[in-house]
């Protein structure tokens, strides 16, 4: 796994989101790495059920960070301040259904003492294919290799 450990403040933010009852899913390559993909990434893409949920800002504020929802239309939603730039807020997930449609297929996963939800490798692959950007296309073989390895493991058990 190649994801730099989260800082105490970043972990506290994830804990606070959970404590506040904010529904979110980690998607993208951060989620893939946490599921065994051999890749390097520095950020975690957070997909929130409701970008305007005031509990996101409360969670960020509780750990010295800030959340700008982008509701004024002047900039995209942003998490920052003392939280730095580790978290990216997802405003559109290419190739996926709605948050409510995708949530049941996500995986509850412990991360450094915090339980978070991850988008499955299969759905990350679908999203990367749909996005079609060069950086997404470059990651397809890595994601496909994870699925192939899982398939091979299933055949040997």
Nearest to 26 by CA among 142, 117, 113, 136: 117
Please name every residue paired with 68 in a beta bridge, in sequence order, or none if there are none.
78
Range of the domain at 95: 8-156
26 is a domain residue: yes
What are 104-120's pLDDT values in tens digits? 999 999 988 899 999 99
What are 42-101's pLDDT values in tens digits? 899 999 999 999 999 999 999 999 999 876 666 789 999 999 999 999 999 999 999 999
Nearest to 83 by CA among 65, 96, 110: 65
Q: How confident is residue 151, by pLDDT bands cut at 50, 70 and 90?
A: confident
51 is a domain residue: yes
Tokens at 55, concatenated: 């509990």
Q: What is the pTM of this model?
A: 0.91
The tally of domains found in the chain comes to 1
> Are 22 and 56 in contact, with CB atoms under 8 Å apart?
yes
């Amino acid at each position: 796994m190649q994801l730099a450990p989260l800082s105490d403040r970043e972990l506290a933010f994830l804990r606070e989101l959970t404590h506040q009852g904010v529904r979110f899913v980690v998607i993208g390559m951060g989620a893939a790495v946490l599921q065994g993909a051999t890749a390097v990434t520095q950020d975690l893409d957070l997909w929130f059920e409701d970008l305007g949920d005031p509990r996101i800002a409360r969670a960020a504020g509780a750990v010295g960070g800030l959340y700008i929802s982008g509701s004024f239309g002047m900039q995209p939603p942003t998490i920052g301040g003392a939280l730095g730039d580790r978290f990216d807020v997802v405003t559109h997930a290419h190739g996926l259904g709605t948050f409510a449609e995708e949530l049941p297929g996500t995986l509850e996963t412990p991360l450094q003492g915090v339980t978070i939800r991850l988008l499955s490798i299969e759905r990350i692959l679908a999203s990367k294919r749909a996005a079609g950007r060069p950086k997404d296309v470059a990651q397809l073989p890595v994601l496909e290799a994870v699925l192939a390895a899982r398939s091979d493991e299933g055949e040997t058990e």
